Structure 1
């Protein structure tokens, strides 16, 4: 089996329009969550989110292209441009036949859906634009990344709610590890911050009106975000042969299902997936120095996840660092695992642990080192990125420091 490394990373999210600005914000413990600027926001009970402010798509894309690009596709293309550019990879004719794209997404083109429901039901129009379906479909972003860079290998979209990106990256890892593809572009994107998207989440009654405070006793819910994280996964020897800079190594993963409840998380299921990722990566529990938590800021998730980490790591749980960057950029749903992987890369490569901001009061049910409020310098040789989704669908990715 081949070793798989990350040679390129790109992002756009509430903290920054690229990787350097995002990592700088994480180091500073900056909050990207604020008042939403969307149509009919006054009709919403939840009026905050990790929104990308002052974003003008016409500065990034030609007007004719925007007829096909929903906001989530735009984000994916912007992040892919950065990731592929940083990697320095050239998709020759031979390589493009085997290289592919696997992206995670949960809601599809929610802005497009929202706008066209308005046109039909509110404005009384009897027709919609002929390109509505290819614009709103979940696989639109993967398709456009494939077309933009001529990638003709295995390409598809994974949709598993909040674990979509981790599932997508695990599949891309498998493709490269098995030798099916020497290079894969992978990650995820999401853009649910429109009236219908927020209104739907309001109905679950898990949203905070004032901020995301994972693991803090005074937390009161999650906050939505938007954006994308895209990576170039490459076979190690292929990367070395072209002199590529290696950001980190993907060591392994695990995927599992709670098979118990559509919305309530399972401690046993999460612990089993964490343990599975360690086993698949051949990493001993005591080697893990940092976990990027799913850490949504809901009582059910935070206590379940902390319990699962304690079960999977035993005595070592008290010695490792675990933080939730959702406190800064919000919950990107299908794109969240991809943006959060950046925090793992920062820990491994730069020795900087992103904090859990907004932490005010310790919760006796979350007795772990959650790196409260301020970033920390520490050497980390191995890390995990957790994603636990509605439907009980779990995916954990294990990474090692590049050597």
Structure 2
């Protein structure tokens, strides 16, 4: 089995248009959630979200590309460019033939769906653009990244709701570790912040109208966000031989299914994924210093996740730091695990734990160290990233400092 390291990272989200900007915002405990700005927002009950501000696609992509790139694809390409440039890899020859891209998204081209439904049903038009299907399909972002960077190896998209990014990264990790691929571009992207995207989530009645407050006793729901987080996973010896900067090492992953309820989380399912990641990484619970929690800010998710952590870690749970950065950037659904992995890298490389902002009242059912409101300096050697999705599909990654 090969060792797997991260040699490149890229992002765009409501906290920043790059990794440095995002990490600075996390260190400052800055909130990227604010009033939504798009057509018909006044018709919604939920009017807040982690929307990417100051982003003009027209300045990044040409007219021909704009016809093919939904907003979630645009975000992916921006994040992938940053990650691949940082890695220093050039995909040619055998490296190109064996390297691929695995990305996560829950909805794919939601903005394209929304705009074309308006065109047909509201405006009464009988024709749509011939490239609507290639633009909205869930695999569009993965396909465009593969074409842009000559990635000819295993490439596909994973769609498992809120765990999509972690499932995608778990698959990429397995491919590099097994020796199938020397490097993989992986992560996830989402852009559901349009009228139809938010309206659909409103129907679930799990959304907050004012703020995302994970683990706080007065939490009242999740807040949507948008953006992308993309990484280069590379075989350790390959990276070492070319003198690459190594951000951290991926040491384990695990996936589980609750097999119980389509929307209600299961403590047992989450615990199996967490303990499975520890076993896969061959580490003891006491070695883990930080967990980036799924932490959506809903009543059911947060207490269930805390119970699962308490079950797996036992007495060591009292020594763990656990935080939810969704309090800052919102829940990016299929892309959220990608951006949240950045908080784990920051903990391992920089010794800074991203906070859970918006925390106001202790909850006896969430009685863990949730790093409330302010970032914390701490020496962390091992971190976990949790993702627990609707449909009861769970994926956890374990990372170690290098």
TM bucket normalised to smaller: over 0.9
CA–CA distance in structure 1, aligned partners of residues 92 and 54 of structure 2: 36
Note the 1:100-115 alignment, pairs <5 A. 100-115=100-115
CA contact (8 A) 2:14 2:33 kept: yes
Residue 3 (structure 1) aligns with? 3
Counterpart secondary structure, 1:31: coil
Residue 383 (structure 1) aligns with? 383
Counterpart secondary structure, 2:366: coil
CA contact (8 A) 2:306 2:365 kept: yes
Question: Once the two structures are superposed, what CA deviation does each residue of 1:40-60 show, in whole Å capped at 9, x if it has no partner?
Answer: 000000000000012110111
CA–CA distance in structure 2, aligned partners of residues 2 and 54 of structure 1: 41
CA–CA distance in structure 2, aligned partners of residues 109 and 271 of structure 1: 33
Q: TM-score, normalised by structure 2?
A: 1.00
CA–CA distance in structure 1, aligned partners of residues 99 and 274 of structure 2: 29
CA–CA distance in structure 2, aligned partners of residues 85 and 61 of structure 1: 18
Residue 300 (structure 2) aligns with? 300
CA–CA distance in structure 1, aligned partners of residues 213 and 69 of structure 2: 33
Following TM superposition, the consecutive aligned residue runs of length 4 or more in structure 1 with deviations greater than 2 angstroms are none
CA–CA distance in structure 1, aligned partners of residues 168 and 203 of structure 2: 28
Question: Once the two structures are superposed, what CA deviation does each residue of 1:3-61 show, in whole Å capped at 9, x if it has no partner?
Answer: 00000000000000000000000000000000000100000000000000121101111
CA–CA distance in structure 1, aligned partners of residues 273 and 56 of structure 2: 40
Note the 1:205-284 alignment, pairs <5 A. 205-284=205-284
CA–CA distance in structure 1, aligned partners of residues 224 and 286 of structure 2: 33
Question: Once the two structures are superposed, what CA deviation does each residue of 1:282-324 show, in whole Å capped at 9, x if it has no partner?
Answer: 1110000000000000000000000000000000001100000
CA–CA distance in structure 2, aligned partners of residues 113 and 40 of structure 1: 16
Structure 2 residue runs of 5 or longer lacking an equivalent are none
CA–CA distance in structure 2, aligned partners of residues 114 and 283 of structure 1: 46
CA–CA distance in structure 2, aligned partners of residues 49 and 314 of structure 1: 36
Counterpart secondary structure, 2:133: helix
Residue 170 (structure 1) aligns with? 170
CA–CA distance in structure 2, aligned partners of residues 166 and 343 of structure 1: 14
Counterpart secondary structure, 1:233: strand
Q: TM-score, normalised by structure 1?
A: 0.99
Residue 118 (structure 1) aligns with? 118
CA–CA distance in structure 2, aligned partners of residues 391 and 376 of structure 1: 34
Note the 1:344-359 alignment, pairs <5 A. 344-359=344-359
1:183 aligns with 2:183: yes
Question: Once the two structures are superposed, what CA deviation does each residue of 1:56-113 show, in whole Å capped at 9, x if it has no partner?
Answer: 1011111110100000000000000000000111112221000100000000100000
1:343 aligns with 2:343: yes
Structure 1 residue runs of 5 or longer lacking an equivalent are none
Note the 1:193-212 alignment, pairs <5 A. 193-212=193-212
CA–CA distance in structure 2, aligned partners of residues 38 and 315 of structure 1: 48
Residue 392 (structure 1) aligns with? 392
Give, in angstroms, the shift of residue 144 of structure 1: 0.2
Residue 54 (structure 1) aligns with? 54
CA RMSD in angstroms comes to 0.4
Counterpart secondary structure, 2:98: coil
CA–CA distance in structure 2, aligned partners of residues 283 and 197 of structure 1: 40
CA–CA distance in structure 1, aligned partners of residues 328 and 107 of structure 2: 22
CA–CA distance in structure 2, aligned partners of residues 66 and 185 of structure 1: 23
Counterpart secondary structure, 1:128: coil
Residue 70 (structure 1) aligns with? 70
CA contact (8 A) 2:15 2:21 kept: yes
CA–CA distance in structure 2, aligned partners of residues 355 and 73 of structure 1: 29
CA–CA distance in structure 2, aligned partners of residues 319 and 301 of structure 1: 21
Question: Once the two structures are superposed, what CA deviation does each residue of 1:203-222 show, in whole Å capped at 9, x if it has no partner?
Answer: 00000000100000011000
Question: Once the two structures are superposed, what CA deviation does each residue of 1:136-174 show, in whole Å capped at 9, x if it has no partner?
Answer: 000000000000001000000000000000000000001
Counterpart secondary structure, 1:250: strand
Counterpart secondary structure, 2:280: helix
Aligned residues: 402
Residue 152 (structure 2) aligns with? 152
CA contact (8 A) 2:92 2:150 kept: no
